[in-house]
Amino acid sequence: MPLGADRYASRAGTLLFLGCVGLSVAAMSLPDTWRDPIAQGLRQTVLAPFLALQQQTELLSAARAHYDAVVAQRDSAALAATFLPELRSENVRLRSLMGLGTRLGWGYVPAEVLHQPEPTNPLTFIVSAGRNRNVRPLSAVVSAEGLVGLVSTVDAQTSLVLTWAHPEFRASAIASDGSVSGIVAPHGAAGPGVWLLELQGVPYRQLVPEGTVILTSGLGGVFPRGIPIGTVVGLASEAKGWERTYLVRPAIHPSALSHVMILIAARGSGSDIRGTFQADAVRP
Amino acid sequence: MRKTDRYRYLVVLAGLVVLHFTVRGRLGGDRIAPDFLLLALLIYTIRAEPGRSAAVGFVIGLLRDALTPASFGAGALAHTLVGYLSSWAKAVFFAENVFVNGCLFFAGTWLRNLIVLLASGRISGAQLGWELLVWSPLQSLTTAAVGILVLGLFGRWVAVRKPER
């Protein structure tokens, strides 16, 4: 049987409620310089054991998946061994399937994505690598498909990643043939272009054909040159006689990620890592 | 209400918190998997006073905001309001009924998502529509289903009313 409202009409309760609402509104109005240390402090203290728990669970899950993969590979190897002439070609095929990490070679750390249920999770998410793995702010975050975002804040065990979907994300970009350069930014939340990027600042005289692959240009020093950002899918808008903006379909959606690579070492100014990703792009 | 029920009640809530950080990732997509943390709050509000429910909601919301700073403060506001309103609703309107409790869990989850989306201001237009009309109802549905399951298994421990003063 329901309780009467009169039992609940306590002044202290109402004041507590109003106080909590006031604090929430105050938290929403905090500038980034105050908000980030508070969030970081909470992650490193109260939430640290829970994040560690989530990280261990992700590791366990990954270990299980790896175990299944290893068993499958062992079975494949055993089968291939029975057909010795085919063993060499099988090895070649397996090598071609080796992951992004092998092709990157150095200067990266793998991390699990610790997804949260909030609808804004694709904008920023936590990954299971922090200062303990030499992650630094503004490190590029990539997957086998391409650019995911960059590290915003680094904690002891975890880091906060700002994805390409975040309204504040920007990346200097070029077409894969080097003909066009511009700035890539989220397209916005309205209309049919939801979860798309846009290539801004393309000179009006330069046309970018549909299907052109857009890569990071390496300018600005945040992202190394050659990380796939996405593919041009059409014209978004144009300022008459001045510039055009193109819609870009991102290489990967943040919600689809379970693991990422964080590029922790600065690469040479002339280095281009597009070859690292191209192998994945043609993977069947 | 037996003394041991109080501890069992806390164990159920703690269990939901642990489930949130362990098995949730394996229960389908991130947008539709049940929200165990919010469910723990809603179950807490069944027997707590609105003021306390609001305070607990605020703490849970603030902690979650630390994990998704894109909407910092919005989660605290949403969980505060949901905790307060849920506690009031249980006290004033709702009878002890499994279906009604399920509706409460559904509405609480959907309302939380609505407030987070509106208060954060990060998502608008068609994307907001998709979140509110497709993904949020699905997440609310799975959360309500788990809530009904929890009440079915542990209802005697968690739905115990405070004695009349």
**What domain range includes position A67?**
30-97
When CB atoms are compared, the residue of A15, A39, A194 closest to B69 is A39
- In this structure, is residue A187 part of a structural domain? yes
Name which of A6, A15, A20, A169 to mutate to probe chain B: the one with the most chain B Cβ atoms within 10 A of its Cβ.
A20
**pLDDT band at residue A261 under the 50/70/90 scheme:** confident
What contacts B16, CB < 8 A, 6 or more positions away? Answer: B36, B37, B39, B40, B43, B150
A20: chain B residues, CB-CB within 8 Å: 54-55, 57-58, 76, 80
Closest CA to A249 of A234, A270, A264, A269: A234
Name which of B16, B19, B21 to mutate to probe chain A: the one with the most chain A Cβ atoms within 10 A of its Cβ.
B21
Residue that terminates a domain, selected from A50, A66, A97: A97
pLDDT over 80 at A132, yes or no: yes
pLDDT of residue B162: 46
Mean of pLDDT values over A34-55: 88
Residue that terminates a domain, selected from A55, A76, A97: A97
- CB–CB of A118 and B71 under 8 A? yes
- In this structure, is residue A19 part of a structural domain? no
pLDDT over 60 at B164, yes or no: no
CATH of the domain at A245: 2.40.10.350
pLDDT over 70 at A226, yes or no: yes
How much is the ipTM here? 0.85
A8 or B38: which leads in pLDDT = B38
- In this structure, is residue A136 part of a structural domain? no
- In this structure, is residue A159 part of a structural domain? no
Query: For A6-15, A217-226, A234-243, B108-117, which range has the lowest pLDDT when averaged over its residues?
Result: A6-15
Pairs of residues, one from chain A and one from chain B, whose beta carbons lie less than 8 Å apart: 195
Closest CA to B41 of B58, B18, B29: B58
- In this structure, is residue A275 part of a structural domain? no
Q: What is the mean pLDDT of chain A?
A: 80
- CB–CB of A54 and B22 under 8 A? yes
Residue that terminates a domain, selected from A47, A74, A97: A97
- In this structure, is residue A244 part of a structural domain? yes
pLDDT of residue A11: 85
Total of domains in chain A: 2
**pLDDT band at residue B156 under the 50/70/90 scheme:** confident
- In this structure, is residue A84 part of a structural domain? yes
d(CA B152, nearest CA chain A) in Å: 18
pLDDT in tens, A150-181: 999 998 889 999 999 888 899 999 998 888 88
- Contact between B115 and B82 under an 8 Å Cβ cutoff? The reply is yes
When CB atoms are compared, the residue of B51, B77, B122 closest to A12 is B51
pLDDT over 60 at A280, yes or no: no
Does domain B3-158 match CATH 2.60.120?
no
pLDDT of residue A54: 86
- CB–CB of A20 and B26 under 8 A? no
pLDDT in tens, B29-84: 778 889 999 999 999 988 888 999 999 999 999 998 988 877 789 999 999 999 99
When CB atoms are compared, the residue of B37, B51, B75 closest to A10 is B51
